[in-house]
Structure 1
């Protein structure tokens, strides 16, 4: 069969989770293509898969233009949450969906850009049997309607879309009474669907089913149909450096003479370093604490933006802009990370205990600030990323958005890791340098964390692999393809 994947452009966090399933299908004899904006051509080609390029090659992705969609204002976000009577935890899920995810979703259903039209036209001509779509690319569901393909969402994280749509449906009457749109996602998609003669239904919003890659205890409860599949970490192939397959240089214990040096990885993510200068106040404090642990070799995968406020790199800290975590983690006793799903999953796959950076008690709500320094650490400007546009580029709204000092998934990930015993939360705002030092040492050396990480790895192995789900996908395609 022919399978078409869609991914959000220029994002490794959205591309890499797709690759193992795409390769499993291709290795089983199916034809596979990956559709994304022209700017993603090199990223997709490096995976060994075939890109289908969308949009005008002379135009940047929508998010790097001055007319990209801004986040919803904090007042309307909170008003929805109040009308729906959401719990504090539910409110945070709603914020991720409505303020964080709706803005990139809006990029690729626009009628004044050609990406959606190019995707639909390719599907009409190529006639895929199955379209697997990123939750932020609902134009793919319209394409499936047009060409008659079966279609599924491939969930690369928590299903904030399914969860939020369930809450909206439960509170439809109250939302209407309050003068609020009872389904803003449907409203967003409706103009594109109408252009091709379709009404918005549940399939256009959440697919005919969804491939669920989260472990049982980490999933959000939703009414959508799910096909479980193991999240297999993928990174682009790179030469394997010698220092990665040799153990860290060893020291000897004065008591017994045994070698006891351990390696710890520090990775604070790929996404935010593209548009946040510095790393809030996190990297300087963590690196200072790690410098006091002479018996640990630290490998910090940080770039110059993340290191902007770090005054000194200690002798035991090795800084590398980028290193493949599946290469690094097998030699590590612990991983300190930002709470991203991809990084968490790599630790699970390699049985590595985790310290998840998460600032407790801080909402994920972005706040619009009309004045102040737009280059302030922890802020986001529309249409602008480091290394993509010059720092002097005009800010479309002459305003900036203050971001919380944490990854959007960090709290649910840290809660889950703690519940399994496979790691701890590292709240850099609430702990001292000395407390961080002791926490890292404990996770890296206490066998209880290592045993719990191994048990979590067993749960991961019990999920079907990408190759295992292919027969199920083939049956679902027969059932749903027109």
Structure 2
């Protein structure tokens, strides 16, 4: 929590708009059953879901050293988990056991990535929390990266913005710690909105790793100061009998290119961004070079969910593109497709197509400014046009525009005419292509997930 952990990037999560009751039998008392992979008894957590366990004994907790156990903790935002998937794959491919603890609504996303899921906590509707806190985000400066502004906003916490997110993100804390006590991982990794990961690591005395997904104040000298004043943050550790002064993460993994990231502590590990947006099937036509420039349009599920029908940007973008000599590909969810109506002739509309499958061969990506969407385009050297809607998207768009890889068009200025002019500017501007190619080179030069997995294995061997 704090920095990006306070103001999350929204993606659809299940739930009813409030902290729901735990699923039947979902108590910490069943953690041992889940850890052993056996059917739960009365009051137990559900068993581990997913690929079967390997038969081995973990390295640092005793027995033969054939590998280690790694527990990932994911928040209720699917894209936060997807950012961690390449590292989870690398650890699994190196021979380590991996489990992913998350609320039940996340399990389909986890299983589609090939990882086993562990149910922890109740389902929390993160989109509903975001809708409730959005007015305060916009007024309190919570989307800013300036440490002084963020620290001041956290201290005031007007409207309960930071407290609301603390409540939502800590809902799985007790179950996650209980599972960790039973399964005894050698390493715990969590996204910035899964604080239970670092708490569990300190309870067990094993290394805890924070996994970022974009520019973030966490993992910087100012980040620890902000954690000190976040409502309820330090109390989570005290509740489980441990103290974690300063920055509780033993390492911070950052897939954000260093040129776009805030300066960090020595404990920060750079990680090459490997795009993963879920499984999908590649249409045959994607392998054929387009005769005209290909423009891809995507908008992020959560932007639509949070803003609802007040956001008319995508239809305006398509109208702007209709008058240009370009090939247009739109990727949307089934619900979003209904809002588009009948597309113009020649516009391809794809439902739930993973963005990383579309980017090769694209000349421009038009989107809402989500940083993981931007990194996927950057990985392929694709210039971008950003129309940010939410506070964090505005700050992300400023970073990307400053790097020269994107043109930022404020939402209030995004009419059909200005959108068409911006598209023409980016497609016709060599500087955008040069900057995008330079950022792609920087991304590919970062340590691979396999390299970082090896570093983390050494950290687990030597201890925090």
Q: Is the 8 A contact 1:96 1:408 kept in 2?
A: no
Quote how far apart the aligned CAs of 1:356 are.
1.4
- Of the structure 1 ranges 211-220 and 426-435, higher mean CA displacement relative to structure 2 is found in 426-435
- Alignment partner of 1:109 is 2:170: yes
Quote how far apart the aligned CAs of 1:468 are.
1.5
- Alignment partner of 1:61 is 2:124: yes
Aligned residue number for residue 135 of structure 1: 192
Output the TM-score relative to the length of structure 1: 0.72
Alignment of 1:259-408 (within 5 A): 261-278=292-309, 280-293=311-324, 295-303=325-333, 306=336, 313-358=343-388, 406-408=389-391
Match of 1:448 among 423, 431, 434: 431
Output the TM-score relative to the length of structure 2: 0.75
Match of 2:416 among 410, 433, 442: 433
Q: What is the root-mean-square deviation of aligned Cα atoms in Å?
A: 3.4
Aligned residue number for residue 382 of structure 1: none
- CA change 1:118–1:307 in 2 (3 A) is same
Quote how far apart the aligned CAs of 1:345 are.
0.7
Distance 1:246 1:279 in 2: 37
- CA change 1:352–1:184 in 2 (3 A) is same
2:307 match: secondary structure: coil
Q: Is the 8 A contact 1:278 1:308 kept in 2?
A: no
- CA change 1:439–1:241 in 2 (3 A) is same
Q: Is the 8 A contact 1:7 1:137 kept in 2?
A: yes
Quote how far apart the aligned CAs of 1:240 are.
1.6
- Alignment partner of 1:35 is 2:101: yes
- Alignment partner of 1:227 is 2:227: no
Aligned residue number for residue 133 of structure 2: 71
Q: Is the 8 A contact 2:145 2:216 kept in 1?
A: no
- CA change 1:242–1:96 in 2 (3 A) is farther
Distance 1:418 1:137 in 2: 29
- The unaligned stretches of length 5 or more in structure 1 are 170-181, 251-260, 359-405
Distance 1:191 1:95 in 2: 19
- The unaligned stretches of length 5 or more in structure 2 are 1-67
- CA change 1:156–1:326 in 2 (3 A) is same
Distance 1:338 1:465 in 2: 28
Aligned residue number for residue 473 of structure 1: 456
1:25 match: secondary structure: helix
- CA change 1:69–1:192 in 2 (3 A) is farther
Distance 1:17 1:353 in 2: 21
Match of 2:445 among 452, 459, 462: 462
Match of 2:245 among 174, 177, 201: 201
Aligned residue number for residue 91 of structure 1: 149
- CA change 1:288–1:40 in 2 (3 A) is same
Quote how far apart the aligned CAs of 1:94 are.
7.0
Match of 1:183 among 217, 225, 228: 228
Q: Is the 8 A contact 2:173 2:195 kept in 1?
A: no
Distance 1:239 1:231 in 2: 21
- CA change 1:79–1:330 in 2 (3 A) is closer
Distance 1:63 1:415 in 2: 25
- Alignment partner of 1:243 is 2:285: yes
Q: Is the 8 A contact 2:127 2:305 kept in 1?
A: no
Quote how far apart the aligned CAs of 1:188 are.
0.8
Distance 2:107 2:342 in 1: 38
Match of 1:3 among 61, 70, 87: 70
Match of 1:23 among 81, 85, 89: 89
Q: Is the 8 A contact 2:228 2:234 kept in 1?
A: no
